[in-house]
Structure 1
Amino acid sequence: MGRPQQPPVGLAVARVARTLSRAFEDALAAAGGSQSVWLVLLQLKINPGATQRDLAEALELREATMTHHLSGMERDGLLTRRRDPANRRVHQIELTEQGEQAFHRLRRAATEFDERLRAGIPPERLTELGDTLAMLAANVQHAASH
């Protein structure tokens, strides 16, 4: 078996993912947030009135991790949590005015970051990249199910 002509695809994708994740985290930090805060705010805008469990499921997080994120965001004044009067085990979550402002600030940062990523890449190449990444994920999921 000869030496590979290219580095393993998985290694290349993992390296790029780490680089992009760090850069995205830096862009969000410069706007006064983080990726976890951004994802929670975004999910609350998509699904107003989401419960803590809804958010955990949507973001694929354990409820304990979600509780940790929400506690910090509540402490920072971005959201409020209160018990659902109909079911005391359920927390209703709402954005505060400060949370709304943070959402718009982080959305701007996320949009600018995405535009920076896409710079100089023709739309058809971005479509091809999306298709290729989906195929890589499907190959891994397919292999895991066998």
Structure 2
Amino acid sequence: MDEDVLSTPGHLISLAARGFVRMSEARLKPLGFGVGQLPVLVALQNGKASTQRDLARFARIEQPPMAQMLARMERDGLIERTRDPADGRSSRIVLTKAAQQRMPEAITALFGGNREALVGFTDSEALQLVDLLTRLIENLDQISSADAALGDSRVL
């Protein structure tokens, strides 16, 4: 087979993702945010999660890296932790006032970057791209879940 590995969807999406990360980091860094923190910032801003476990699930990362990220975010003054009154072993996590105040500017910068990246795309093409990528992510999540289940059964 004479396929070009560098023209596969996986490789092209990886290149696009790295480009988005570079652009987003450049726009977020002056505001004191990192692109890896985005899922946490958005989840906390929208009230979708407030515990480390919920944030890890929302961001689709494991607990240990989430714990490290939250420790850095707390050190940098982006989040605060308080004891959960319902469960003394757990903490509730909230954005600091300073982080909340910078979020609108960060969101504006990110939407602007996305618009710039999609120059030359019609609105219909941009919507189709989002739909296709969403479906691709769902497929990859299913594959990952199936692989994890196979791995678990191999251990038994």
Residues of 2 paired with 1:136 and 1:42: CA distance?
A: 22
C-alpha displacement at 1:122, in angstroms? Answer: 0.7
Which residue of 1 is the match for residue 67 of structure 2?
67
Amino acid at match of 1:97: K
C-alpha contact 1:83 1:91 (8 A) present in aligned 2: yes
C-alpha displacement at 1:137, in angstroms? Answer: 4.2
C-alpha displacement at 1:111, in angstroms? Answer: 1.9
Residues of 2 paired with 1:39 and 1:128: CA distance?
A: 23
Matching of residues 79-90 of structure 1 within 5 Å: 79-90=79-90
TM-score of the superposition, structure 1-length normalised? Answer: 0.80
1:42 maps onto 2:42 in alignment: yes
Q: RMSD over aligned Cα, in angstroms?
A: 2.6
Matching of residues 1-146 of structure 1 within 5 Å: 1-2=1-2, 7-47=7-47, 50-137=50-137, 140=140, 145=146
Alpha-carbon distance change, 132 to 52 in structure 1, aligned in 2, over 3 angstroms:
closer
> Mind listing any 5+ residue stretches in structure 2 that lack a counterpart?
148-156
Residues of 1 paired with 2:143 and 2:107: CA distance?
A: 36
Residues of 2 paired with 1:119 and 1:26: CA distance?
A: 19
C-alpha displacement at 1:123, in angstroms? Answer: 0.8
1:55-87 CA-to-partner distances (Å, cap 9, x unmatched) read 111111222222211112212222210221331
Residues of 2 paired with 1:134 and 1:66: CA distance?
A: 23
Aligned residues: 145
Following superposition, which runs of at least 4 residues in structure 1 exceed 3 angstroms of deviation? Answer: 1-4, 134-146
Please identify, of 14-23 and 54-63, the stretch whose mean Cα deviation from structure 2 is larger: 14-23
Higher normalized helix content (fraction of residues): 2
1:25-46 CA-to-partner distances (Å, cap 9, x unmatched) read 2221233311123321111011
> Mind listing any 5+ residue stretches in structure 1 that lack a counterpart?
none
Q: Pick 1 or 2: higher relative contact order, CA cutoff 8 A, min separation 6.
A: 1
C-alpha contact 2:43 2:49 (8 A) present in aligned 1: no
Identity percentage of aligned residues:
29
C-alpha contact 2:49 2:55 (8 A) present in aligned 1: no
